[in-house]
């Protein structure tokens, strides 16, 4: 795949040291920190119309590492108004960026499209990573499209739709007993073949896909007062803020919109670090029904804290019942199939609505399709006697 003209280097997020773009598509810096692509903004001539007219993630290839890539039509997802929910919250507008409309029903399609593109650039014949569920399905889909073998290591509690569709897409899957860290351990202890990693922040391009969320949002709504997004590994939060940073450099936004990251109260290492002002530490006893958010040692946790802080935002926690209730409310009040992880962002908007005035525009990022966690949402209703 041809690199984009504006792509200049890979920069260590800890030291600022740069290496040439062709140096590697996997691994971290010499300091052990994630690498971040660097671009020449003078080579990019965008307007707000450029953003508004885009219909896919790859319309923004000038600020991605590759000019084209392994794509199934990811991005260009709808921004859906939820006036009834906005009225309940007492804000002017509540909009849901519905990432469940991506090819495999997850925002991670944006990142895995780029990661698998990097794998093709490296002539990889096997890609692999560990995932709570959605990433395994997405990685299998894009690897299959590129004609590359793939392995996904998932925890036993990963939703059945993710497990089934990983195989349906042609990926090989191994299920590790326990939770996400067990799947990550199994990847490194059980997979004997050499592989090209698709793991978040172990490839310097995966998080770049989430920048395009910011581009699309500004093209669709201008500068929202706040964007609410689930935190998980930190990659989507960090990528989203990177996208707003790009637009500020290009003069297309005056400042960074507030980004509010949401975590489940039963597994909130990023929120704890944000409150304490210290580094992200491993959450000792993770316990949330939302598997995509049960990440006790998030690879992008510190980067997410820094990014959120720069926007004047914050990291909040919400209980499982609030998460599931908000996902159900979106389904019943806005005809949107919001997954459990997306429900965390909606719950955070509900919790913080009083901080905004009556004409504020709030955006909630729904990171997954509701059908992925339909059994959890249905069980929530049954617990209420419905």
Write the pLDDT tens digit of every residue in 38-48: 999 999 999 99
- In 16-122, alpha helices (H): 48-53, 83-89, 108-121
Does the structure show a pLDDT above 90 at 21? no
d(CA 297, CA 112): 21
Tell me if 301 sits within 8 A of 280, measured CB to CB: yes
C-alpha to C-alpha distance for 366 and 171, rounded to whole angstroms: 25
Domain map of the chain by residue range?
79-106+205-383, 108-197
Rounded CA separation 6/103 (Å): 27
Q: pLDDT per residue over 55-66, tens digit each? A: 999 999 999 999
What pLDDT digit, counting tens, does each position of 200-250 carry?
999 999 999 999 999 999 999 999 999 999 999 999 999 999 999 999 999
Per CATH, which fold does 108-197 belong to?
A: Rossmann fold (3.40.50)
pLDDT band, very low/low/confident/very high, at 186 (cuts 50, 70, 90): very high
**Which CATH code for domain 79-106+205-383?**
3.40.50.1100
299-345 confidence digits (pLDDT tens): 999 999 999 999 999 999 999 999 999 999 999 999 999 999 999 99
**pTM as predicted:** 0.97
Residue 109 to residues 62, 97, 133, 200, 367, Cα–Cα distance (Å):
19, 14, 13, 12, 10
**Domain pair 79-106+205-383 / 108-197, same fold:** yes
């Amino acid at each position: 795949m041809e690199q984009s003209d504006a792509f200049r280097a890979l920069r260590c997020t800890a030291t600022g040291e740069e290496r040439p773009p062709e140096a590697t598509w996997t691994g971290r810096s010499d300091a052990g920190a994630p690498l971040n692509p660097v671009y020449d903004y003078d080579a990019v001539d965008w307007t707000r119309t450029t953003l508004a007219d885009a219909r896919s993630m790859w319309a923004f290839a000038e600020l991605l590492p590759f000019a084209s890539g392994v794509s199934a039509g990811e991005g260009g997802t709808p921004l859906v108004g939820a006036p009834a929910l906005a009225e309940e919250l007492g804000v002017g507008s509540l909009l849901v960026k519905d990432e469940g409309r991506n090819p495999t029903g997850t925002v991670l399609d944006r990142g895995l499209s780029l990661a698998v593109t990097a794998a093709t650039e490296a002539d990889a014949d096997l890609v692999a990573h560990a995932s709570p569920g959605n990433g395994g399905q997405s990685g299998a889909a894009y690897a299959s499209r590129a004609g590359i073998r793939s392995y996904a290591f998932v925890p036993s509690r990963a939703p059945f739709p993710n497990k089934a569709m990983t195989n349906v897409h042609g990926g090989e899957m191994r299920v590790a007993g326990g939770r996400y860290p067990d799947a990550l351990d199994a990847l490194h202890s059980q997979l004997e073949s050499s592989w090209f990693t698709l793991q978040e922040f172990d490839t310097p391009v995966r998080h770049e896909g989430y920048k395009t969320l910011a581009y699309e949002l500004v093209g669709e709504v201008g500068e929202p007062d706040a964007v609410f997004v689930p935190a998980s590994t930190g990659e989507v939060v960090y990528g989203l803020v990177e996208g707003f940073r790009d637009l500020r450099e290009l003069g297309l936004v005056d400042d960074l919109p507030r980004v509010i990251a949401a975590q489940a109260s039963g597994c909130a290492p990023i929120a704890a670090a944000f409150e304490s002002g210290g580094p992200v530490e491993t959450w000792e006893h993770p316990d949330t029904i939302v598997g995509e958010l049960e990440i006790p040692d998030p690879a992008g946790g510190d980067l997410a804290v820094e990014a959120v802080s720069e926007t004047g935002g914050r990291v909040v926690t919400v209980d499982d019942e609030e998460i599931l209730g908000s996902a159900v409310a979106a389904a019943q009040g806005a005809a949107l199939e919001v997954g459990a992880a997306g429900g965390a962002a909606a719950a955070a908007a509900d919790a913080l609505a009083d901080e905004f005035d009556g004409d504020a525009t709030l955006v909630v990022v729904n990171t997954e399709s509701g059908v992925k966690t339909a059994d959890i949402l249905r069980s929530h209703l049954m617990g209420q006697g419905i």
